[in-house]
Amino acid sequence: MYNLQRGLGEIFVAEDVLAADLEANWEVLAEAIQTVVRAEIVAGRSRIADPYALLRNLTRGRRVGTAELAEFVRGLDIGDDAKARLLALTPATYTGLASASVDELGRT
């Protein structure tokens, strides 16, 4: 255990590199968009047939920038509140289910 703790103490996180990597990869928000679209479908505020395919067509094999993703979200068949929530996200602020997962791990 001591070696593990010592090794973890020697890890250096280059926060500027991580931030730049996130800023260059807006497609990481595809999961959030797909989740919100699915919720809008269930709530009856969207008629999108296949949210997965919609996002796959946007993101597969290529980078998606800020402006392109915002334009995509604005064109979605979802409610205005959902669009506003999605437009407020950034790759640096989106954590998905990470917080809930950590909480769950803490209970085990």
| 104 domain residue, yes or no | no
Question: Is the Cβ–Cβ distance between 76 and 83 less than 8 Å?
Answer: yes
| 18 domain residue, yes or no | yes
> CATH number, domain at 53?
1.10.40.30
| 106 domain residue, yes or no | no
Per the structure, the complete domain to which residue 73 belongs is given by 2-96
| Percent of residues, the chain, with pLDDT higher than 70 | 99
Structural domains in the chain (count) = 1
Query: According to the model, what pLDDT value does residue 16 have?
Result: 96
Nearest to 64 by CA among 102, 30, 105: 30
| Percent of residues, the chain, with pLDDT higher than 90 | 74
pLDDT at residue 102 is higher than 90: no
The 10s digit of each residue's pLDDT in 32-43 is: 999 999 999 999
Torsion of CA 31, 8, 17, 84, to 10 degrees: 30
| 102 domain residue, yes or no | no
Query: According to the model, what pLDDT value does residue 39 have?
Result: 97
Question: Where does the pLDDT of residue 107 fall: very low under 50, low under 70, confident under 90, or very high at 90 and above?
Answer: confident
| 41 domain residue, yes or no | yes
| 34 domain residue, yes or no | yes
Is the overall model pTM greater than 0.85, yes or no?
Answer: no
Which has more pLDDT, 101 or 12? Answer: 12
| 101 domain residue, yes or no | no
| 105 domain residue, yes or no | no
DSSP 10: T
